[in-house]
Amino acid sequence: MEKVLDIINMLFKKSKYVVAFFAITLFSVVLINNDVYSASFNYSDFDFDKYFEEKGNYWTSGCKENEKCIDEIVKKQRKFYTKLYKLLAKYAEKGIIAQDSYVDNIILETVFINMNPGLFTDDGTEYKNMWGGSGSPYKIDESEMDDVEIDPDVDYSKISEEYANYYSEEKDTLKLLVSNLFSYTTRCYGVYGSPRIVRNADGTTSKICDSGNLEDIPSSGLIGGKVSKCVDKTVNSLGFYKYYISKLQHDHFIAKYFTSLSILGHIPVDEYYQQCMDMSGNYPAGTVYGYMDSGELPKLDTNKYFDFLSYNSYFDGKSHLQEYFEDKVLKPAKVDCMTKDLCDNSLEKAGLYDQYEEEIIKSRRTIIKDIIWILNNYGIKVAYSGVGIEYGEGAYDSDNTGWWWPIGSDTYYSSEPIPTKITSYFGVRSSPTAGASTNHQGLDIAPTVEAYRTSGGDRDLPIIATRDGTVVMATESISGYGKYIKIQHDNGMYSGYGHIKTILVTNGQTVKQGDIIAYMGNEGRSTGKHLHFEIFTDSSTRVDPLSYVNQLSPRPVSSSGKFTAGSENKQSVCLTLKNSGYSDAGIAALLGNIQAESSFNPAADNGSHGGICQWGYTGRYLNLKNFRPYDYTTLEGQVLFMIHELGSSYSSLDEKLRNGVGTANDLGDAVCMKYEAPGRKYCNDRYENPEKVLSYVQNGCN
């Protein structure tokens, strides 16, 4: 409770956050008197009557013991919370989220941001009196109260037109928001053809591909069936709002196509589908775009959730959030509100949405930033690259000293990159040419006048691999980009290179940092010679490249070090930390905590947490999987992720560990409380562990 009171005092100094904070402190089913930041029960065990008995006084204090007033409030709150936890229980039963995860807090904060406790009811009277417009901040579809249907249970092959249009407007706030908490997988297959059948010496047969890899891919001639083909495969990740529309419009396993669908009136575009179709001419048998198989489940993805809130009009139709749009949208447009259901003089009715698109997205992201700030300060660690918040400290960051500026050298500039300039940054922008994106998902880099002058005129500018990796896409044509290369790197992330003149690598080729992979061009939708450079945290989530590359320090050395194998797990961790620049006291602090958490076992699993540092499966363990998708279960993958996470999200603690600021035990206590966070009692129990291993560290990990 002391932690909560400290935060409340801080919030009163930042008054704009006070009412938002109440959404969690008063109404989330959270244990606020210890260090656990999750529901205190399994979602499927939610009991509203017990819950209301504990929390109800926050709603009923204004009733002054009037039974009729109290009964009315109980009735109204029952619908909202019962529906919320029934939805979450369905996802938990499938193993998509933990039964006691933190996601209820994200939904609650989204619904109730900028509202005070007196308005937390389904009755819109007080809400309308204060804010005007529509009578309630949320909507509940009561037809599904008894049996809530979630997307993984939907049979798309039999979907009705009525259900296909369910999300075209906000029929049920909770179902809309919860559905968009998850990401869905699609795949693009570039098909070379059927495999050769080879008879083996033992009489059996094998399927052999001369090009590509053997995969079972969707077949338009087989309802729900697959056929073996030789292919190049690209895996993509889509937020629900994009996946839902794309599948209903393009999946040939659905008996009926739905061509005019929207999400809250917005028609999202699946850029990966279009790119896949654009590459069809590059393969002898064209391309096939596949959706998730039956039984394949979505993944919790808060980045996709906040994308949904950024690019759709959920916030726009809320009376209590209009102030967020006032300065950048409403006043300049000389209108009173965003949507026509809120007032007559609206931006929507005036037909000005397209004109103010950039400022609308910025305003929505201001709301998102406030939501994340509240969640982070309460101890619920979520992030969104779109607003540059990661655990309350800076943008999502990787080992940014290990990424090279993607421009190569030549005979004149032999020890440095050829001079370039950034012509367009990551994020919202004005479109530079017809058809170009106004939400720029990369960095445009063009040669400077000096580069042309000193080289004797126009010539090929080399593009290099920003770090070690494997080429997963090298295509001669992709929508908007022209020739394009995508590389999966040694840390599990990706980089992309567009508008290329000449491609010098092939699919599946291994490249080293600094290898020339292409020459800069002017292909695709482009206004001049330049490189469109992208960085992805996973196969599809683009982030600002300037969080990783630095034009002023174009060839840095990695700070994370390389994994150093020892004779046992403990020694491997110790040696890797030594080679990564940590002090002896800092290493002892980390070893003492890892010993208590997992005994250095990367397969350690307590049901809700896993790995050497016991990362939570619904939060930080997902970051581990995204960061090291190919070896996240190994000691190497987990140690290097720990180093990355300390440097990017706990930079102050990381600096102390590297510099040895404090005794081994004190540093170990800081690691326990700030990084591991099991609670004060557990940290007290392990306080003396670091000093016990300090001499081991000082003796060279022996």
Query: Average pLDDT of 632-636?
Result: 83
Q: Pairing relation of β-strands 299-300 and 383-384?
A: unpaired
For residue 22, what are the CA distances in angstroms to 8, 143, 371? Answer: 9, 30, 12
Name the residue type at position 473. Answer: M
Contact (CB, 8 A) for 363 and 324: yes
For residue 586, what are the CA distances in angstroms to 280, 299, 303, 681, 693? Answer: 53, 35, 32, 22, 11
For residue 597, what are the CA distances in angstroms to 104, 582, 603, 672, 676? Answer: 27, 20, 12, 10, 8
Query: Average pLDDT of 588-605?
Result: 94
Same-domain check for residues 316 and 226: no
> How many other C-beta atoms are found inside a 10 Å radius of the C-beta of residue 416?
11
In terms of residue numbers, what domain contains 457? 420-547
What phi and psi values does residue 440 have, to the nearest 5 degrees?
A: -75, 120
What phi and psi values does residue 5 have, to the nearest 5 degrees?
A: -65, -40
Cα atoms in the Cβ-side hemisphere of radius 13 Å centred on 263 = 25
Could you tell me how far CA 262 lies from the centroid of its own chain? 23
Q: How far apart are CA 363 and CA 343, in angstroms?
A: 19
Q: Measuring CA to CA, which residue among 304, 313, 319, 308 is closest to residue 356?
A: 313
Residue 390, pLDDT score: 34
Domain boundary pick from 247, 278, 300: 300
465 vs 478: which has the higher pLDDT: 465
Name the residue type at position 570. Answer: K
Same-domain check for residues 311 and 289: no
Q: Does the pLDDT of residue 600 top 90, yes or no?
A: yes
Q: Does the pLDDT of residue 20 top 60, yes or no?
A: no
| Partners of 533 in beta bridges | 443, 497
295 vs 324: which has the higher pLDDT: 324
Same-domain check for residues 505 and 437: yes
Q: Would you say residue 554 lies in a domain?
A: no
Q: What is the CATH number of the domain that holds 672?
A: 1.10.530.10
Give residue 541's pLDDT band: very low, low, confident or very high (50, 70, 90): confident
Contact (CB, 8 A) for 38 and 102: yes
Tokens of 648: 């990017």
User: Which sign, positive or negative, has the C-alpha torsion 435, 439, 445, 449?
Assistant: positive
Q: How far apart are CA 644 and CA 493, in angstroms?
A: 13
Q: Does the pLDDT of residue 342 top 80, yes or no?
A: yes
Query: Average pLDDT of 324-347?
Result: 94
Q: What is the pLDDT of residues 124-165, one digit of tens each?
A: 666 777 777 666 788 888 887 777 888 888 887 778 888 888
Tokens of 379: 């101890």
C-alpha angle 513-514-517 in degrees, rounded to nearest 5: 100
Contact (CB, 8 A) for 321 and 515: no
C-alpha angle 540-178-323 in degrees, rounded to nearest 5: 90
% residues pLDDT > 70 (the chain): 80
Q: How far apart are CA 463 and CA 632, in angstroms?
A: 30
Could you tell me how far CA 473 lies from the centroid of its own chain? 22
Q: Would you say residue 426 lies in a domain?
A: yes
What phi and psi values does residue 81 have, to the nearest 5 degrees?
A: -75, -35
Q: What is the DSSP string of 109-125?
A: HHHHTT--GGG-SS--H
Q: Does the pLDDT of residue 416 top 80, yes or no?
A: no
| Partners of 485 in beta bridges | 474, 497
Same-domain check for residues 694 and 590: yes
Q: Would you say residue 450 lies in a domain?
A: yes
- The H or E element that residue 518 is part of is strand 516-520
Query: Average pLDDT of 327-336?
Result: 95
Residue 464, pLDDT score: 95
Residue 161, pLDDT score: 81
Tokens of 569: 């797990």
Residue 537, pLDDT score: 79
Q: How far apart are CA 533 and CA 527, in angstroms?
A: 15
571 in the Ramachandran plot: left (φ > 0), alpha (ψ -120 to 50) or beta? alpha
| Tokens 């959270």, located at residue | 30
Contact (CB, 8 A) for 185 and 240: no
Same-domain check for residues 309 and 291: no
Tokens of 92: 């938990």
Could you tell me how far CA 228 lies from the centroid of its own chain? 32
Same-domain check for residues 25 and 76: yes
Domain count, the chain: 5
Same-domain check for residues 134 and 274: no
Q: What is the pLDDT of residues 429-443, one digit of tens each?
A: 444 454 445 567 888
Q: Would you say residue 143 lies in a domain?
A: no
Residue 550, pLDDT score: 80
Residue 697, pLDDT score: 95
Most confident of 29-33, 251-255, 533-537: 533-537
Q: Largest Cα–Cα distance in the chain?
A: 88
> How many other C-beta atoms are found inside a 10 Å radius of the C-beta of residue 275?
22
Contact (CB, 8 A) for 376 and 102: no
224 vs 694: which has the higher pLDDT: 694
From 175-189, 219-233, 376-390, the region with the lowest mean pLDDT: 376-390
Same-domain check for residues 185 and 99: no
Residue 17, pLDDT score: 41
Q: Would you say residue 147 lies in a domain?
A: no
Same-domain check for residues 434 and 392: no
Tokens of 563: 């994994």
User: Which sign, positive or negative, has the C-alpha torsion 30, 32, 35, 40?
Assistant: negative
Residue 59, pLDDT score: 65
Residue 429, pLDDT score: 42
Q: Would you say residue 402 lies in a domain?
A: no
Q: Would you say residue 594 lies in a domain?
A: yes
Domain boundary pick from 300, 323, 358: 300
Tokens of 430: 């004005």
Same-domain check for residues 199 and 237: yes
Same-domain check for residues 586 and 450: no
Q: Would you say residue 411 lies in a domain?
A: no
Residue 495, pLDDT score: 94
611 vs 23: which has the higher pLDDT: 611
Contact (CB, 8 A) for 546 and 385: no
Q: How far apart are CA 386 and CA 126, in angstroms?
A: 34
Same-domain check for residues 320 and 374: yes
| Partners of 439 in beta bridges | 428
Domain boundary pick from 265, 300, 335: 300
